[in-house]
């Protein structure tokens, strides 16, 4: 294996029954990949990571005193929020940028990236969730943080944040309600993306086992600096803490995925 950390664990009180995930928190690569043939500027773009999410995860973990697991590699290397059999697991082109280091790519390298980076991250997520369940004696509340671009293909996105989900709405409803208490915010419900993605992180670790969860997307320009991160961390900490106090969000209940039957 490479001498590279495919994830970062942030410690916290596991008895609290909550964990924060940041799949695309970082834009790092092992040195041997030589930036995948891309210019340095590409790694400051959304194609490489979710801008603002690392800072937001760290701030929330600290304020709430709960564990967090952060992906330690750029999504350009391999996308941790995709199933191993997803054809978009390793992208050849992303938002107009051709990724030379990913095309062509043989089976050996494809499988190496799964084994060296993708699986260790998911092992850390699974282990953390299991440890929290054991420590708290209940189903953990899993909250995954992402960010989206202010516009797409020249079309502005009006939402300040969005909550994505598959068919388990338990944690989604209170998260949407908490965010919508601020009348100045426009909050998307499964937009600009749909949250039903077979094999993604929450499907794999929560949907299949019936663990309450939600995925929150924040618009990148709102968390692109320390002030924005601090504002959103303060807002979300209050909402997340109230959600975590609800016993109904610490029960196991399996829902059928809208992506099709479980395998």
102-111 pLDDT tens trace? 999 999 999 9
Number of independent structural domains in the chain: 1
The residues near 78 (Cβ < 8 Å, ≥ 6 apart) are 89, 90, 113, 114, 117, 118
Tens digits of residue pLDDT in 142-197: 999 999 999 988 899 999 999 999 999 999 999 999 999 999 999 999 999 999 99
Q: Is residue 202 part of a domain?
A: yes
Confidence of residue 95 (pLDDT cuts 50, 70, 90): confident
Alpha helix (H) ranges present in 167-246? Answer: 172-180, 201-202, 226-244
Yes or no: say if 47 and 74 are a contact pair by the CB < 8 Å rule. Answer: no
The number of C-alpha atoms within 13 Å of 109 and in the hemisphere containing its C-beta is 12
Rounded to the nearest 10°, the torsion over CA 30, 35, 41, 42 is -100
Q: Is 74 within the bounds of a domain?
A: yes
Output b/e per residue, 56-78; b: 16+ Cβ within 10 A: bbbbbbebbebbbbbbbbbbbbb
Q: Distance between CA atoms of 86 and 258, rounded to whole angstroms?
A: 17
User: Does some domain include residue 70?
Assistant: yes
- Asked if the structure places residue 243 within a domain, the reply is yes
Residues sharing a CB contact under 8 Å with residue 16, sequence separation 6 or more, in sequence order? 64, 65, 66, 136, 244
61 belongs to a structural domain: yes
133 domain residue, yes or no: yes
In the predicted structure, residue 2 carries a pLDDT above the cut 90: no
Closest CA to 181 of 230, 227, 239: 239
Percent pLDDT > 70 in the chain is 99
pTM of the model: 0.97
Residue 155 covered by a domain: yes
pLDDT of residue 154: 86
Long-range contacts, 59-62 (Cβ 8 Å, 24+) = 59/229, 59/230, 59/233, 60/20, 60/145, 60/233, 60/236, 60/237, 60/240, 61/10, 61/12, 61/20
Structure tokens at 92: 């050849």
The answer to the question of residue 255 being in a domain is no
Which strand (E) or helix (H) includes residue 184? none
Helices (H) and strands (E) in the chain, counts: 6, 11
Q: What CATH number does the domain containing 165 carry?
A: 3.40.630.40
The answer on pLDDT for 55 being more than 60 is: yes
C-alpha dihedral (193, 199, 202, 206), degrees to nearest 10:
140
The chain-wide mean pLDDT, for the chain, equals: 96
Full residue range of the structural domain in which residue 42 is found: 7-250
Q: Residue 242 pLDDT > 70, yes or no?
A: yes
């Amino acid at each position: 294996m490479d001498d590279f950390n495919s994830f970062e664990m942030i410690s916290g009180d596991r008895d609290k029954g909550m964990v924060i995930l940041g799949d695309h928190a970082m834009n790092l690569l092992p040195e041997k990949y030589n930036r995948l043939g891309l210019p340095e500027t590409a790694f400051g773009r959304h194609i490489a990571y979710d801008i603002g999410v690392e800072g937001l995860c760290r701030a929330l973990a600290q304020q709430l005193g709960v564990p967090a697991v952060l992906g330690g590699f750029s999504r350009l290397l391999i996308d941790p929020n995709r199933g191993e059999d997803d054809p978009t697991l390793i992208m050849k082109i992303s938002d107009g940028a051709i990724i030379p280091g990913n095309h062509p790519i043989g089976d050996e390298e494809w499988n190496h990236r799964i084994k060296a980076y993708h699986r260790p991250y998911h092992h850390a997520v699974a282990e953390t969730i299991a440890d929290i369940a054991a420590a708290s004696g209940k189903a953990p509340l899993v909250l995954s943080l992402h960010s989206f671009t202010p516009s797409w293909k020249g079309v502005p996105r009006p939402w300040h944040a969005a909550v994505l989900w598959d068919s388990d709405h338990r944690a989604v409803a209170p998260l949407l309600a908490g965010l919508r208490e601020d009348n100045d915010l426009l909050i998307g419900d499964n937009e600009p993306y749909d949250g039903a993605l077979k094999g993604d992180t929450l499907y794999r670790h929560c949907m299949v086992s019936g663990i309450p969860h939600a995925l929150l997307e924040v618009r990148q320009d709102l968390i692109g600096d320390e002030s924005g991160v601090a504002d959103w961390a303060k807002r979300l900490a209050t909402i997340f803490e109230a959600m975590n106090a609800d016993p109904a969000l610490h029960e196991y209940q399996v829902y059928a995925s809208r992506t099709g039957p479980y395998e």
